[in-house]
Structure 1
Amino acid sequence: MPRLDRNIPLILTAASIAILGTVFALEHVGGYLPCELCWWQRYVYMAAIPLGVLAIVTDRPEAGGSSKRLLALLGFLFLMGAGIAGYHFGVEQKWWQGPTACSSIDLEGSIEDVFRAVMAMPIIRCDSPSWTLFGLSMAGYNFILSLILAALALRGAQSRL
């Protein structure tokens, strides 16, 4: 098996950690607050990390093909992430309508407490990119990265047949 194919589970896991680290740094250091669709895209990477670790651990012949199945699952997970990112990019470009709810609140307490929580919450719009580079938003770059990671994961699954 070529060296790249052997390292695919590690590459996918490291990329997922790096992407999540970057967006959390942009949020907490750069002040770029995520919208609802941004969170949906993050959930893909949050799910990919433990799956990637499992793929690394089971990437041995005696594991009975577990790594192949996990890589296929990761490939489909990243394709789903590309779909979410593409949808988000389309919302940003005003090609279609985004979700009506932009965030959730805790409905505990009195009506006044809920009202104050709603009024204090920042509204992060899904149709207004907070950052762009060369005309692409983070959702656009995530679409591209997700497709690359999906192709890599599916190649890894295929090479383990």
Structure 2
Amino acid sequence: MDAALSPLLRTWRWPVIALVISLTMLATAHAFERLAFLLPCQLCLRQREVYWAAAAMAVTGIILWNIRNNRRFLVAFNVMLGLVFTTGAVVAAYHAGVEWSWWPAPSGCTGEAVDVMALSLDGLNDRTAIASCTDAPWRMLGLSMAGWNALVSLGLAATSFVAAGLAFPRSYGELEPA
């Protein structure tokens, strides 16, 4: 492990970094929705839930770290954070597979896209269709947003597991606060 990276992953700093990255991913998704008018589908919203869960977990973990700061807690917390990000990678990979027609979309993902600019205040009371999960609004380097999200989530999961391994106490003396 790189000497510059190890101190960031071995201590409480990784949960803070994971929190910042999760909030950045959520802000990016909302920016695409609000500024670029790319309506999210059911699976897009499911992917956001993972980042909300990771952010809430990170805040809770940081608060609890100030109460009970030992390495065993940090190891368990980083493993749980890794599992949350692994869930995000699975959901995003599933969504990318739906976009590539590798498997069928869930039944709630077959809606038609809605022109947001055509909506009026009266139209907000009407039921609107949900964006289709099978259509990727854009691709960059051959990957859709779901594909990129799968890679980011996988990287965050791997980093969380590495952080757990680095924080793991190697001897009884290391059980003290990190």
Q: CA deviation at 1:59?
A: 4.1
Aligned to 1:28: 34
TM-score by length of 2: 0.76
Aligned with residue 127 of structure 1, among 119, 130, 134 = 134
Q: CA deviation at 1:117?
A: 3.1
Aligned with residue 80 of structure 2, among 73, 86, 101 = 73
Asked whether the 8 Å contact 2:110–2:132 carries over to 1, the reply is no
Matched, 1:154 2:161: yes
Query: How many positions carry a matched residue from both structures?
Result: 148
Aligned-residue sequence identity (percent) comes to 35
* Gapped regions of structure 1 (runs ≥ 5): 105-115
Aligned with residue 7 of structure 2, among 3, 9, 21 = 3
Aligned to 2:126: 117
1:122 and 1:18 mapped to 2: Cα distance?
A: 27
Structure 1 vs Structure 2 CA RMSD: 2.2
TM-score by length of 1: 0.83
* Gapped regions of structure 2 (runs ≥ 5): 112-124, 169-178
Deviates more, 1:68-77 or 1:1-10: 1-10
Asked whether the 8 Å contact 1:56–1:67 carries over to 2, the reply is no
Does the C-alpha gap of structure 1 residues 47 and 14 become closer, same or farther in structure 2, counting only changes over 3 Å?
same
Asked whether the 8 Å contact 1:90–1:96 carries over to 2, the reply is yes
1:15 and 1:137 mapped to 2: Cα distance?
A: 19
Aligned to 2:90: 83
